[in-house]
Structure 1
Amino acid sequence: MEVRGLHELVHDASLRYGSSLAVMFYSSTGASSSLTYEELISSANRLTTLLRENVVLSEHTIGLYCQSDMNLPVWILGILQLPAAYVPLNPDSPPLLTLRIMERCDLTFCVIQSDLFQRFQSDFSHHLSIALCATWSVQRLILVRIKKESSSLQSNSEALQTTKSAETDQGTTLQPDMSLTQKGHQRELLAYVLHTSGTTGNPKIVKVPHKCIVPNILHLRSLFQMAKDDVVFLASPLTFDPSVVEIFLALSSGACLLIVPSTMKKTPNRLAQVLFTHYKTTVLQATPTLLRRFGRNILREKVLCADSSLRVLALGGEVCPSPSLLRNWRQEGNKTQIYNLYGTTEVSCWACYHRIPDSLLCTADRTHTSVPLGEPLLDTAVEVRDENGCRVTEGEGQVFIGGVDRVCLLDDELIITPGTMRSTGDWVKIKDSQMHYLGRRDRLIKRHGQRVNLDTVQQLVENLPMVESCVVGLHESRRLVAFVVPLSGHPSSSEDNRTVSSSAYMHGSKDFIYSNKAIVREVLQSLSKLLASHSIPDTILLVPFLPLTSHGKVDIGKLMKMYERHRDVPVNPSDWKDMDTVKEKLQTLWKEALGLSEDVEITADTQFLLSGGDSLQAVRLYEDISNATGMTSTGLLEAILEGCFTDVLHHVTKVMCSLEQDAVVPPPAKRKHEGTVVPLKRQAINPASTMAKKRTPGSAVPSEKRILETVVVRRAGQIMEIMGCSQSISDMVEPKVIREETLTSHSDLHFHPGQVVRDQEVQQMGASVDSQALDLRVLWSSDTGRCVDASAVLLVECEKHLTSGQTRVTAFIGSHSHRLQALHLTSGEIKWERILGDRLESSATVTKCGTLVVVGCYDKQVYFLHVDSGKTWWTFETGDAVKSSPAVDPETGLVMLGSHDGHIYALEPQVKQCAWKHHCGGGAVFSSPCIHSSLRHLYTATLGGKLLCLSPGSGALLWTHSSGSPFFSSPSCSASCVSIGSVNGNIYGFSHAGEMLWQFFTNGPVFSSPSTFAFSQRVVCGSHDGCVYCLSCTDGALLWRFATTGKVFSSPFVFDGSPWGFKTLVAFSSTDGAVWVLDGENGTLKASLSLPGELFSSPVVWGHTLVVGCRNDYVYAIELTKRRESPRGSMVG
């Protein structure tokens, strides 16, 4: 039986359901529009007529350059009815990638969404001749005819093509696409043309006949029991072939296709509201990643709740989540049918399906760790073959997909052989006749969390005009190296450079390697336009030829040895101690890392990221400097990322000078009894006299009854009281009376994880956990979608009458996903969520009035949002990214914060204006300001190494201290001093008049911010050497030190330990994912917990709950409880 076209399936449905809704579009403004089936077909017919009047009849592929819109199905049907295949072009893709697709599809005509025409011209006018053919206002389309500019093709063709077989000798004319210009009946069968992503191999052009995709639609329509009452969400972009299934699954069934703007798909809360509250979506096909963006709470409460409108959830495009995870996403009583779909674009679209049994989703059985790929779909053949090509019925092998008609044309294939089976590169294990996905086994690596195919990178390098040949390899599983033979006669090459002796080659001649910087720079610049940052080689090594093995293959082993000799050139520290020499060499490495020409000026204030660099390029520069100098420095990467060129220069010079000294002066002998101890001297403090002392700024809340309505709790134990109602808060978070301890100790001892040092005493972790030890237990977690480096701020709201009132606590925290979440502390339920303009690293705060939450953003903005709804009250734009966390002046209500533009701002949210701003003298302001209320001092610090004291009322400078090292740490106030940490490893104490009182040297950079004890003159701070230090505020003497298992970036939180039987407790995290709670008196370990991700967020404590963000994308609420004794006296959780 002859298979009908996709558009014919829609025509059939329109005859039965003409007056029914076919398309619904929900705009960003909340407005909705719709089309019935009659209107859809009428509009599509009109577009087909217009196309026939303007398009050459021999054209059978037409580009479609558009975004999500109500008319999207009209545009697709109008092209299909021509008849022609549509080629979706994504306006948000890199222009060179889109240009490559247009060339390889040999496009002549393109229809462009009207409001995108200017962008199309801007992106492609330098590469294409664009002739305007027609403008159709009703259809909101512009038809253009495109032709490649010969001059552009001459310079860019090789870089844009992944194969040279379609080029002539001159590279100016492409071979006609024979697969699209054969017999008329075959041309009419093409429905659409896509391209693979290239993440798992070379990008391929995939031409899909109607007879290949229609069986998918028919079978899935039957499986899902589609009806006219169904609502299908268009979740996929047009460039992803599941979009075809979504569109025609709906429109061939008389169902309604729901379309929303792509920006709305990035706001899970709002998207869930639209899909399941407004439009009662019944069928959702999505990738597991898209589904995960909703977060567990929304999944359980809206998507997969007991009374969910969702009948069918089809997951595909990625590995299916485990049954246990799916079970956690479903609310008890949910009836949604869940399917696992598997397929490849090369055999568009799906090949297999498996319905997950309801019984498996309702049981607690954890023996099923994966979901099978399932059974073949209609007209699809699936085989598993081993490495020898033999069919596998039990065990491991590679999946092959095909069928008589289920075959697509790839790249320049001219004919389709019936029954062709495509290799997928996916390996599975067959067990009990079911296929379970294992992964891929080719030249695919995972780098910086992203997949990279080495052959794809190698082929792109080889296709560059300045490259003769190339081999790409991975050195020691981490360094991506491209060995390049430059093209003879290229303008950037010289005869001298190309004449290299075999001896020089065998010894990795440095002259040859570095004499062609122009070629290296040109290669990197070209690749930056074609590849994502994680795919760009770390090193481009120029070689005169590629050595071969006896079998005639490239000897990658010899090449890697050459790279090692080049990398391991002996370093003389004296060559790097002269500032001018270091400056010149660093400027060279800096330019090479960014692919800049030699005449580009690198000034003292030049910042790496602002010069076009990204975090991966920063890592490359870090490794290049480390290899060139022979040094290893934990602070170098931070200086590159956050500092300016001067910061990096000072850092390298200082470290190299110390290396030279180490080479002359022998290191001190290791202590024989390292870690042995002498008991501490302790000075008792009279509790009564301590309670009578005046509170110091930044200290925790005193424990007597007071008038209290709202409390704001922030990192490092910062607490602000707002308004008033009677409330006893003795058991909240305040550090109560503790005893002073004095000692003399050296800071150059070596410590092991868990050790506590008090003068000469060391206690091992575990040994210090006494009969009053505590437990940490995760209460809930909230998925934010990306890493969480910010710290939470807690808003504690109290009722006015204690007898009937309740305390409500909301945690506000931001994420690199651009989200700011408002979470109920007790349940973890999302009160509201906002997607802001860029990443959020700044920790939020709450204004003096208690009604606005304030947060800084990478998009330069400071956002003031209503605490109860998240709605925007005001935004203020600075001159650069805002990573500084705001502080509130308790007297005036001004909000103070710094910006990477080098200023500190004082903002008045009530009148929506900036009261004043002050330039801090050089360097971005990363750290957060601190206000001493009674002295009326505002302290802030910069990455330029300056600590400033300003008047909070006017911004006038009172005093400043300059240091040679950046301050990432935020200042902290006590009665006697202001303390701050530096990346040079010091913790400083300054008087409030600006005099340096003391400094304490740790063995690593200090990014942690100090936290002061409320009533005793102590400060506690972490370091990248893995330790947390408790120091005297008066003279900086070490009181105790605790060694963790990782670096300490977070700021400690000091709080009252009386509910658990202690005076004071200190909570903090280390970057290896550990959360620690110590006795504030002596630094002994009381509890610890390991989370599944790095921790740069600082914990915040209220009551018995600790909140911290994690780099695994989650925010965690952790309960701190006292362990109970077992009958035998041992401790149990």
Structure 2
Amino acid sequence: MNTYEKTISLHGMVRDAVVQHGGNRAVVFDSGDSPSTCLTYNELFAFGNELSRQLEMAVGKHEQTIGVFCHTNIFLPAWIIGILQLPAAYVPLEPLSSSGFTLRMMDRCHLKYCLIQSSLLQHFQSVFSSFLSIDVCAEWSTLKLTLIKMYRKMPSQGSSAKQWRANNQMLQVEEARQHPKEVVPRNVHQGEQIAYVLHTSGTTGLPKIVKVPHTCIVPNIIHLRSLFQMSPDDVVFLASPLTFDPSVVEMFLALSSGACLLMVPSAVKRMPGRLAHVLFRRNMTTVLQATPTLLRQFGGCALKEEVLSAGSSLRVLALGGEACPSPVVLRSWRQEGNKTHIYNLYGTTEVSCWACCYELPNSFLASDSTEDASVPLGKSLMGTVVEVRDERGCLVTEGEGQVFIGGQERVCLLDDESIVVKGTMRATGDWVVVRDSHLYYLGRKDRLVKRHGQRVHLDNLQQAVESLPVVDACAVGLHEGSRLVAFVVPSESRNVSSTEHVQVSEDISFSCTSLEREVLQELSQLLPNHSLPDTVLLVPALPLTNHGKVSMEKLMRTYERHRGVSGDHAAWGDMDTARATLQSLWKDYLGLAADAVVMEDAHFILSGGDSLQALRLFDYITVTMGMTSAGLLEVILDGSFADVLKHITSMTHHGRIQTSNKRQHEGSTSGIPPKKYHTKVTSNIVSERNTSPEVSSVRRTVGFVIVRRAGDVQELYYSQNREKNSLMDSPKASEDLDRKRVPTSESSGSVELNRDILAGEEQFHYVNQGSGDTSQSGTATDNQALGLRVLWRSDTGRCVDASPVLLVHPDQARVFIGSHSHRLQALDLSSGEVVWERVLGDRIESSAAITSCGNLVVAGCYDGQVYFLCVDSGDTWWVFETGDAVKSSPAIDPHTGLVIIGSHDGHVYALDPLAKCCVWKHHCGGGAVFSSPCLHSSPRLLYSATLGGQLRCLRPDSGELMWKYVSDVPLFSSPACSETCVCIGSVSGHITALSHDGHKLWDFHTDGPVFSSPCLASVPPPVNKKTGSRVYDNGTSTSPANEVLLCGSHDCSVYCLNTADGSLLWQFQTTGKVYSSPFVFDGTPWGRSTLVALTTTDGTVWVLDVEQGALKASLSLPGELFSSPVVWGRTIVVGCRNDYVYCLDLTGSKEQKKTSLSTRD
């Protein structure tokens, strides 16, 4: 093999070729619909020399970089050679890229000069004139080229100036974080002439700037020229754009060999038929280097009959830039008798361009074996060192590890590096398995994911899908970090009938029946269940990035559109149709025979299903129904076939009102039946309604109380000198605001309750004392029996799954709660009268919160927005948009006033309602954030859980990750904190406690999934039945109160655990699943120590004694209950799925008689 001198350069190799092949065609430009144009080597080099001379006169010989802003054209290689000969490095700028991205490239490369294709000069000026001062230095009509000099300018005034400064400040902070300054070590490599400057894709942050010396790229050209046996007779296609470094290999592989470089307009590259005609009929292309995705654009028929036909002109097919297709796929592309040599290339932009090369032997391609699942990366190229290291940095000779690439000369400069250590090895982020001295590609580090505790290689899954006969091409990705989606292009041999798929949009269709089932069934024979995709989506073609790779971003947008389209509602129309549809799906997702009988009491999990299959069934049902449900997944996991059918038909009934995702504006008609208001509304409420976010200063000078689910009660107060419109004032908190308090009767004495009772709902229900007795009548054995009755109810128009929040002032108390009708209501606690009502952009499942200033109510919405509304009037103060539905309930940081909330886009956001800005956001590593964040005061920490199975501990002020706990199952439950631990439930049935530094303290197992969020409370220890005295942990009768955890489970039980060790104190069996969070409150008014209220999905509200779990009262409401109750004074407020919000009165028998008499009076 030839060696090379250090002084050799890209343009030097072209100069050598000109000497030998001056009269040969060097460049051909062919659009396919007109005669092609060409330049000989002599003409090409003459143009290059002329440009170099002109540049030297215009910019001098000391300019290091020059930009190139152009489309592909016949003069492009001459422009490149002219810049290199100056000598300077060229910086390709893509005309179709965003202005911000291009400006960043210019800034990072310190560009002063740019060569612009003359036809694009006006476009350049219109895009960049507000950011740059542009001087035209020279115009060369022969080369169709204009040279400009650029000066960065800052807008002088107005919002654009502020935005410019803000953008630059954010950019500097981000770059400083990603690329901190480093101390330069000794023994460095520097001073090499840079050939070109590119950028990485930027998938993990800001794109890196990569400066590539001639000494790094020339060895690639020389070695590949030898491997491909290049000759002057070859025609090499310039497949890659100038911004993608394989273009350098393509261009100089041809021009250093005396061969012909073939170029086409960018538009032709997107037209597979015309491109194949230009390449193989008009120009007889012999060397093609491309990404597998670009090659697939030709389609199976054209690949076999033209590109890789028996008589194809193509000598060399080099595939790189993506994982190489499996041998099975490669064989399917070739026609029998094809002689093309196929190579697998592997490399990374940070060590431009290729590092390894493997030629597939003919025997490999001719074999019918399916055992060879992947193609090796091959041997390292000239001057390149390739190592595999494990996570500890140790070399791997057998097994899995990450690829590192480098070499003495194969070194590029990243970002602001000007010097680099000799032999530097760059981490690639690519993982391989070393087997029998061969490296086999597994995937990017971020493409290795865990599902149910098992590792899944997404690229391996993609290869497995592509190996199926019914599949022509495939791309696999994770949506929201959890939903595994396979985008499938059906093979041309597969004739998909119109009955087998539903057209969703102009560019996508998805299988409802046979093809999806066929793909999943065949994959189940090849892969373990945890590797199977949740959704198979049929697409006509895989979209490309500018670099010819699969655009996963475009595919995910397509998937989101697919999910947003209402499906086949007719399949769920009536009970019989819904039953038949569900039976068919039940058998499909469980892999049962078509004639299998599905019994009414069949259980999905017990019939052989698992949680992944349940998620797939859930996904299909919600897509085809065009709606979702808070309880559907739980019913599938834990209920019978009859339960699932009942839930679906209930969804269908409630969903007929609203199936569109279009937002309802405030002034528009919502299509929802009008609200059933109370007939009498007091005048003082009407007078308080405002049209601005200003609030009265009078009432805010005193304290207020906020009451939320899970026993969260906070007291706040203000100083006395507040002025009107003081939303900017910060509250002062009572001691330990974020500690959970048990509401007491003393703190609520100012709330006078209306004792009017709705007709037909005035009966009381009593229960016997004693744990586990669920009867609703009998004689009490302690001070007095307790009863529940309905004080009032308010119709919201649709199901209420959200939990209420109460804002209590000395002179009034209000309830704020959202509904699936899109409505957020403010109700008077004493009467149930509607103070105000707002219709938001979509359904509201997020429980509202009150900001620490007491002036704003905050709620998330299915439309992806977080709404900040004035508590007095409902007027909009601010709306913040996330990337997906917001079902999480906000947490309020009492120290900073920040509102912290999760979104189904996988982020947690910290929002400043006063400044109306997002202070920080944190990506939770995959999986939607359904549960509510939890703040802990000391140490000051923030906890957030995801449906991807992660519990994350963050710094509340910055969103910085402290530690994370990873579960194998989704976490719907919200975390709860004590002084020593954080507790959370999971759908695997576990309630887990972790220390505040992330160590597991204990784990308690229930017999069903836990969707309920724990409630922590300090209560007196139990009474010794023999002595009658309370028994404390230290054996004495004097000790602080014990801390207990109360949490429900889908096993129809509520559990009381000791938070110190997770031991069971008591268990109470209910009549339904416990989805809600318990609420602990003071029982003193009824002669008891501490009580807890909870609800079950069968519609029952329960009140228990916390000490022993004895039932004190219960009441059945006419609808399912997913909402969590809140308690204030003697009232319990809860939302119901029969569309109503209920306020219940908890009282004793003596009070009941007294109240009844006073009512008669």
TM superposition score normalised by structure 1 = 0.41
Larger-Rg structure? 2
